[in-house]
Structure 1
Amino acid sequence: MLQELKDAYGFIFEEELIREIEETGVLKVSHAGEIIMDINDYITSMPLLLDGAIKILREDEDGNELLLYFLERGDTCALTLSCCLGQTRSEIRAVAERDTKYIMVPVSKIEEWTTRYKSWRNFVFESYQSRLSEMLETIDTLAFMNMDQRLLRYLQDKAKINQSEELQVTHQQIAYDLNTSRVVISRLLKKLEMEGKILLQRNQILVQDL
């Protein structure tokens, strides 16, 4: 685990902090599609991603989901961090986008390291800034993009996160993430295919416009 920590965070944290994370953190592995953290859960620790990817979702009163952003290796979730420090329930759902390995750091250490390590403090602030920028981008896509543009952006982001142009995803799952209907998604996927931006294959989508 120590080497994986160094590979993912060695360019951010000093050696002493890396070793503290290894000693106090709990190593976890979640498979693709598994819920890592759910809405209304009490949050007592935050994740540091070693490998894989996590998607962060919000849910409205009717149970409809909306994708906010993705987390990759070297990231953490600022919304989780806020819940940890505020000792409140989670307002997001975190789902493994693909098989993911991460370390859960206890809230007591989060506060301690913020005081002791400048690198950790900078990491926390930069995480807030990055996640805020990503949420603003999500708002922009909702406000200013047509659904076909949102769909293409979603597929492009998903391909980059999964490091593959071939996406194993159903039309229904896309509809859930974009908070629309499967019929709309199926129609727009056909439109994107006719425009040469994607290729629809059996049980997968090939993203050609990256």
Structure 2
Amino acid sequence: MNKAIAQTIGSTFPFWENLDYEAKKKLLTNVKKISFSPSQFVCLEGDICHHLPLIISGNVRVYKIGESGREITLYHLEKGDSCIMTASCIISKKVFPAFAIAETEVEALIIPANSLKKWVTHNTIWQEYIFGLLSQRLANVIEIIEEVAFRRMDSRIASYLLHNVNSKTKTVEITHEAIAQELGSSREVVSRILKTFERQKLLSLSRGKIELYNWEKLENIAQLGKY
């Protein structure tokens, strides 16, 4: 077996330890290493999924685009993750229903679709892994639906900033457009709310960076949707 790839999988994906020798051998025989550059599409809406990616490093954003052109992030894939949408498309023979783009340099191991279908059919470890992905991502998507449907945008923005702030510098390096894409809103709405926060001295705005001042007040907004 390829020791380097085996070590990479073993240190990144917990299911590896539960596979028997033959299953590990099949995985190493079929897997291939691939890389993506920042802003490179991993998958486009409508694509046929020929491989399942196992993310070794980097960050992939999976998102939808509405008829108005607005984007909303469904989830991110990072080290140790795999894409349940891709797995679902492979198993159900459907096309990919979203977009996936590398936000950083990304390295991944890809498993051929035919191999994955065989393993999921005959190996309980692979079944548990895929169902685990499904459970995790379903919870994420339900949370997004609840936020979009029931939570005020100012509350969502405050929560997003607190979740992504650098605790040392107390800043979030991001544009208003990027926040809008993450939350499924428009840049104008995000900018208006951020400027309101700035007038209330909760934060300060500069190009590509937001510095947080009043964390307690932002936490109240995030939790209660009030300010």
**TM-score with structure 2 setting the length:** 0.78
Letter in 2 for 1:4: T
Report the equivalent of 2:113. 107
- DSSP 3-state at the match of 2:108: strand
After superposition, the C-alpha distances for 1:50-73 in whole angstroms (9 at most, x for unaligned) are: 112222111223433211112222
Contact 1:2 1:19 in 2 (8 A): no
Q: CA RMSD in A?
A: 2.7
CA distance in 2, matches of 1:109, 1:35: 23
Q: Are 2:34 and 1:49 equivalent residues in the alignment?
A: no
Report the equivalent of 2:150. 144
CA distance in 2, matches of 1:23, 1:147: 48
Report the equivalent of 1:154. 160
Alignment of 1:175-190 (within 5 A): 175-190=180-195
Structure 1, 93-102 or 123-132: larger mean CA deviation? 93-102
CA distance in 2, matches of 1:143, 1:63: 19
Per the TM alignment, residue 7 of structure 1 is displaced from its structure 2 partner at its CA by 1.3
Report the equivalent of 1:8. 12
Give 1 or 2 for the bigger CA radius of gyration.
2
Alignment of 1:18-57 (within 5 A): 18-57=24-63
Letter in 1 for 2:48: Y
Structure 1, 149-158 or 31-40: larger mean CA deviation? 149-158
Q: 1:202 to 1:62 in 2, by over 3 A?
A: closer
Equivalent position to 2:175, from 170, 173, 192: 170
Report the equivalent of 2:139. 133
- DSSP 3-state at the match of 2:15: coil
Q: 1:165 to 1:82 in 2, by over 3 A?
A: farther
CA distance in 1, matches of 2:106, 2:115: 23
CA distance in 2, matches of 1:136, 1:194: 33
CA distance in 2, matches of 1:43, 1:191: 44
- DSSP 3-state at the match of 2:16: coil
Identity of aligned residues (%): 26
Per the TM alignment, residue 48 of structure 1 is displaced from its structure 2 partner at its CA by 0.9
Contact 2:72 2:185 in 1 (8 A): no
Q: Are 2:131 and 1:94 equivalent residues in the alignment?
A: no
- DSSP 3-state at the match of 1:139: helix
**TM-score with structure 1 setting the length:** 0.83
